[in-house]
Structure 1
Amino acid sequence: METAKALRHLLSAERWRRASGGALQARARSALVPGVSQVDNKSDFLGNKPHRRHPGILQLPRVQLPQSLMHAAQILLLKDPIPNVEKQVQALTNYLWSRHLPVESEELQQRAVDLEKKILENADSSLTEEKLRGAVLSALRKTTYHWQELSYNEGLSLVYMAARMDGGFAAIMRAFHEIQTRIPEFQPQTLMDFGSGTGSVTWAAHSTWGQSLREYVCVDSSAAMLDLAEKLLKGGSESGEPCVPGVFFRQFLPVSPKVQFDVVVSAFSLSELPSRAHRTEIVQTLWRKTNRFLILLENGTKAGHRLLMDARDLVLKGKEKCLLDPRPGFVFAPCPHELPCPQLTASKPLACSFAQAYHPIPFSWNKKPKEEKFSMVILARGSPEKAHRWPRITQPVLKRPRHVHCHLCCPDGQGQHAVITARKHGRDLYRCARVSSWGDLLPVITPSSTQDTSGS
Structure 2
Amino acid sequence: MASSISESLPRFTADALRYAAKQSEKCIVIPVPLRRAIKRFLREQEQPYMKRKVLSLSQSFNDIKDVNLLLTTSTSKELVEDPLKYSGQSKRWKIESNYGDIGFKYSDDQTAAYVASRMPAVFSACFRVLIEVCRRLPDFTPKSVLDFGGGSGSALWAMREVWPQSIERFNLIEPSQSMQRAGQSLLKHMKNLPHIQSYATLQALNMNVSKSEREHDLVIASYVLGEIPSLKDRITIVRQLWDHTRDVLVLVEPGTPQGSSIIAQMRSHILWMEKRKSRKLRKVSDKAGKDDTDALNGDLTKTIAIESGVCSKDLMATHEGLKSLIVPRKNGAFIVAPCGHDGQCPLQKSGKYCHFVQRLQRTTSQRAYKRSKGVPLRGFEDEKFSFVVFRRGQRPTKDPWPLDGMKFDTLKEQHAKRNPEDLEIDYEDQFASEDEVTEEGNLVRYESDMAEKDAIVEIGYKDGCGGEDVEGERKEEADLGSGWGRIIFSPLRRGKRVELDICRSTNREGSEGSFDRIVLTKSKNPALHHQARRSLWGDLWPF
TM-score normalised to structure 2 length: 0.62
Does 1:194 find its partner at 2:151?
no
Describe the superposition over 1:131-183 as per-residue Cα deviations: whole angstroms up to 9, x where unpaired: xxxxxxxxxxxxxx995345202221111111210000000001111111222
Query: What residue in structure 2 maps to residue 294 of structure 1?
Result: 249
Is the partner of 2:505 in helix, strand or coil? coil
Give the C-alpha shift of residue 343 in structure 1: 1.6
Query: What residue in structure 2 maps to residue 250 of structure 1?
Result: 199
Partners in 1 of 2:125 and 2:71 — Cα distance? 34
Query: What residue in structure 1 maps to residue 343 of structure 2?
Result: 339
Farther-moved stretch of structure 1 (65-74 vs 249-258): 249-258
| 1:369 corresponds to which of 375, 380, 383 | 380
Partners in 1 of 2:328 and 2:139 — Cα distance? 26
Partners in 2 of 1:227 and 1:59 — Cα distance? 33
Query: What residue in structure 2 maps to residue 31 of structure 1?
Result: none
Amino acid of the structure 1 residue aligned with 2:123: F
Is the partner of 2:181 in helix, strand or coil? helix
| 1:422 corresponds to which of 503, 518, 522 | 522
1:305-384 correspondence to structure 2 within 5 Å: 305-319=260-274, 320-321=276-277, 327-346=331-350, 349-363=351-365, 364-365=367-368, 368-384=379-395
Partners in 2 of 1:317 and 1:43 — Cα distance? 37
Partners in 1 of 2:542 and 2:11 — Cα distance? 7
Change (3 A) 1:298 1:97: farther
Change (3 A) 1:353 1:107: closer
Query: What residue in structure 2 maps to residue 396 of structure 1?
Result: 490
Q: Is contact 2:357-2:382 (8 Å) kept?
A: yes
Query: What residue in structure 1 maps to residue 108 of structure 2?
Result: 154
Give the C-alpha shift of residue 55 in structure 1: 1.1
Partners in 2 of 1:260 and 1:271 — Cα distance? 24
Does 1:219 find its partner at 2:173?
yes
Partners in 2 of 1:107 and 1:184 — Cα distance? 41
Give the C-alpha shift of residue 47 in structure 1: 2.9
Amino acid of the structure 2 residue aligned with 1:340: Q
Partners in 2 of 1:78 and 1:201 — Cα distance? 23
Query: What residue in structure 2 maps to residue 96 of structure 1?
Result: 61
Amino acid of the structure 2 residue aligned with 1:227: R
Partners in 1 of 2:381 and 2:62 — Cα distance? 15
Amino acid of the structure 1 residue aligned with 2:355: S
Does 1:65 find its partner at 2:30?
yes
Give the C-alpha shift of residue 185 in structure 1: 2.7
Query: What residue in structure 1 maps to residue 501 of structure 2?
Result: 407
Partners in 1 of 2:328 and 2:240 — Cα distance? 12
1:20-59 correspondence to structure 2 within 5 Å: 44-47=10-13, 49=15, 53-59=18-24
Change (3 A) 1:260 1:420: same
Farther-moved stretch of structure 1 (414-423 vs 89-98): 89-98
Q: Is contact 1:101-1:147 (8 Å) kept?
A: no
Q: Is contact 2:499-2:520 (8 Å) kept?
A: yes
Give the C-alpha shift of residue 95 in structure 1: 4.5
Larger Rg: 2
Q: Is contact 1:354-1:439 (8 Å) kept?
A: yes
Partners in 2 of 1:219 and 1:155 — Cα distance? 21
Q: Is contact 2:64-2:229 (8 Å) kept?
A: no
Query: What residue in structure 2 maps to residue 33 of structure 1?
Result: none
In structure 2, list runs of 5 or more residues that go unmatched: 1-6, 76-88, 94-103, 279-326, 371-377, 397-478, 507-512
Partners in 2 of 1:377 and 1:286 — Cα distance? 14
Does 1:204 find its partner at 2:206?
no
Partners in 2 of 1:433 and 1:297 — Cα distance? 27
Partners in 1 of 2:133 and 2:25 — Cα distance? 12
Change (3 A) 1:331 1:46: same
TM-score normalised to structure 1 length: 0.73
Is the partner of 1:198 in helix, strand or coil? coil
CA RMSD of aligned residues (A): 2.8
Is the partner of 1:193 in helix, strand or coil? strand
Amino acid of the structure 1 residue aligned with 2:241: L
Partners in 1 of 2:244 and 2:148 — Cα distance? 11
Q: Is contact 1:101-1:271 (8 Å) kept?
A: no
Amino acid of the structure 2 residue aligned with 1:75: R
Partners in 1 of 2:47 and 2:187 — Cα distance? 21
Farther-moved stretch of structure 1 (321-330 vs 371-380): 321-330
Does 1:284 find its partner at 2:235?
no
Change (3 A) 1:272 1:338: same
Change (3 A) 1:81 1:59: same
Q: How many residue pairs were aligned?
A: 361
Give the C-alpha shift of residue 94 in structure 1: 5.3
State the percentage of identical aligned residues: 27
Partners in 2 of 1:146 and 1:381 — Cα distance? 32
Change (3 A) 1:410 1:220: same
Describe the superposition over 1:333-371 as per-residue Cα deviations: whole angstroms up to 9, x where unpaired: 11111122122122xx22211011112321252671111
Partners in 2 of 1:82 and 1:73 — Cα distance? 13
Change (3 A) 1:100 1:306: same
Moved over 6 A (4+): 322-325
Give the C-alpha shift of residue 436 in structure 1: 0.8
Farther-moved stretch of structure 1 (297-306 vs 181-190): 181-190
Amino acid of the structure 1 residue aligned with 2:243: R
Give the C-alpha shift of residue 80 in structure 1: 1.7
Describe the superposition over 1:310-332 as per-residue Cα deviations: whole angstroms up to 9, x where unpaired: 11111111115499775211111
Change (3 A) 1:104 1:180: closer
Partners in 2 of 1:182 and 1:311 — Cα distance? 21
Describe the superposition over 1:178-215 as per-residue Cα deviations: whole angstroms up to 9, x where unpaired: 11122223211111100000101111111101121111
Query: What residue in structure 2 maps to residue 438 of structure 1?
Result: 537
Query: What residue in structure 2 maps to residue 4 of structure 1?
Result: none
Give the C-alpha shift of residue 44 in structure 1: 2.8
Query: What residue in structure 2 maps to residue 271 of structure 1?
Result: 226
Q: Is contact 2:106-2:178 (8 Å) kept?
A: yes
